[in-house]
């Protein structure tokens, strides 16, 4: 099967997903685009159920961004627009980016229905900084999206892209399912956060340390799948630190004090500090900065 292009390809307009013959090993950089086809995208809001999700998340992300005085937000996993819409409505200046043309088109429509014109950018995270202009106070990568990167090199590359797209004191907020619990003790879910739709089931069809393939079954029997990488919490924390982020805080189901086993989702908040590791930094005229050579890598701090 040929790759989908970055612009909306006929494959993405299709109601059927396009996997390679060996579906479990289809983990290439473009697989998410062949998975988020129009047919699935049209069902996505049934899966996440905006009103129920809004109720379960409450003001969590808005409060986080407001208390740290952030104003410009890059939503890198816009999907159908849930966070782009809620953050725009709350007064943030949001740029809505996604690599799936079908998702972005749906987000734009959803924004219009709420009286908003979303500022959309169609780009893959791996080439993020070629597609955007300027730096952001915050980047949000929400809804278990980072899990769509199947190889470590891409995860590191994408974190470096996110880092570079932030202002010197920017923050990255990234979340994921509690894969640790799933891998170590089997799958259960309270179905309370994120995927709140009552008429949809979301369950792993295959699970090992390198693949979580989820099946989403809708009321009328339609089903779609997603091949994802099961991110362990401490592994992602480590990657964030190694990418240069610090001041890392992790929340379980939106709580600072949480039970590792009971939490369905983790949210990490990572800071791009102007003074990493206490070393002085050099600010450049173009808004970028650099550390002196020989600075040590970050050390994990806190939980």
When the beta carbons of 194 and 276 are compared against ligand SAM, the nearer one is 194
DSSP, res 25: G
- Among the listed ranges 58-66, 72-80, 180-188, 244-252, the one in contact with ligand SAM (CB under 6 A) is 72-80
**Which position has the token pair 């979301």?**
202
Q: Single out the residue of 11, 26, 32, 204 in contact with ligand SAM (rule: CB under 6 A).
A: 32
Q: Do 96 and 84 form a contact (C-beta atoms < 8 A)?
A: yes
x/- binding map, residues 48-67, to ligand SAM, per CB under 6 A? x-------------------
Nearest to 223 by CA among 214, 233, 234: 214
Q: Which is nearer to ligand SAM, 165 or 273 (CB)?
A: 165
Of 169, 157, 85, nearest in space to 128 by CA: 157
If the CB atoms of residues 80 and 298 are measured against ligand SAM, the closer one turns out to be 80
- In sequence order, the 6+-apart residues with CB closer than 8 A to the CB of 121 are 95, 96, 97, 131, 132
- Indicate whether 100 belongs to the interface with ligand SAM (CB under 6 A): yes
d(C-alpha 270, C-alpha 29), whole Å: 25
With CB atoms as reference, the residue minimizing the distance to ligand SAM is 143
Q: Is residue 143 close enough to count as binding ligand SAM by CB under 6 A?
A: yes
Our finding on whether 79 is near ligand SAM (CB under 6 A) is yes
Contact flag: residue 250 with ligand SAM (CB under 6 A): no
Query: Of the candidates 26, 98, 253, 271, which one interacts with ligand SAM according to CB under 6 A?
Result: 98
Axis-axis angle for helices 38-48, 50-57 (nearest 10) = 50
Sheet holding 211-217, edge to edge: 201-208, 211-217, 223-228
From 74, 103, 159, 207, residue interacting with ligand SAM (rule: CB under 6 A): 103
Give the footprint of ligand SAM on this chain (CB under 6 A). 32, 36, 48, 77, 79-80, 82, 98-100, 103, 124-125, 142-145, 148
């Amino acid at each position: 099967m040929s790759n989908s292009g970055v612009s909306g390809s006929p494959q993405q307009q299709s109601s059927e997903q396009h996997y390679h013959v060996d579906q479990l090993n289809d983990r290439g950089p473009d697989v998410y685009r062949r998975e988020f086809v129009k047919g699935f995208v049209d069902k996505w809001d049934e899966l996440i159920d905006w009103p129920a999700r809004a109720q379960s998340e409450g003001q969590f992300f808005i409060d986080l961004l407001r208390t740290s005085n952030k104003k410009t937000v890059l939503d890198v996993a816009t999907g159908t627009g849930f966070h782009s819409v809620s953050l725009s409505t709350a007064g943030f200046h949001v740029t809505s980016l996604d690599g799936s043309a079908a998702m972005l088109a749906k987000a734009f429509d959803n924004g219009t229905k709420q009286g908003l014109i979303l500022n959309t950018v169609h780009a893959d995270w791996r080439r993020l900084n070629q597609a955007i202009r300027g730096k952001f106070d915050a980047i949000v990568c929400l809804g278990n999206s980072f899990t769509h990167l199947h190889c470590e090199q891409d995860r590191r590359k994408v974190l470096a892209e996110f880092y570079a797209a932030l202002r010197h004191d920017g923050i990255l907020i990234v979340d994921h399912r509690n894969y640790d619990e799933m891998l170590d003790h089997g799958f259960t879910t309270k179905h309370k956060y994120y995927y709140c739709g009552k008429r949809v089931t979301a369950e792993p069809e295959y699970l090992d340390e390198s693949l979580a393939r989820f099946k989403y079954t809708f009321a009328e029997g339609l089903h779609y799948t997603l091949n994802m990488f099961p991110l362990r919490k401490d592994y992602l924390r480590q990657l964030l630190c190694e990418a240069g982020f610090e001041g890392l805080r992790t929340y379980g189901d939106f709580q600072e004090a949480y039970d590792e086993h009971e939490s369905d989702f983790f949210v990490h908040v990572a800071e791009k500090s102007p003074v990493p590791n206490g070393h002085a930094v050099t600010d450049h005229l173009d808004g970028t900065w650099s550390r002196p050579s020989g600075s040590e890598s970050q050390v994990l701090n806190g939980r």
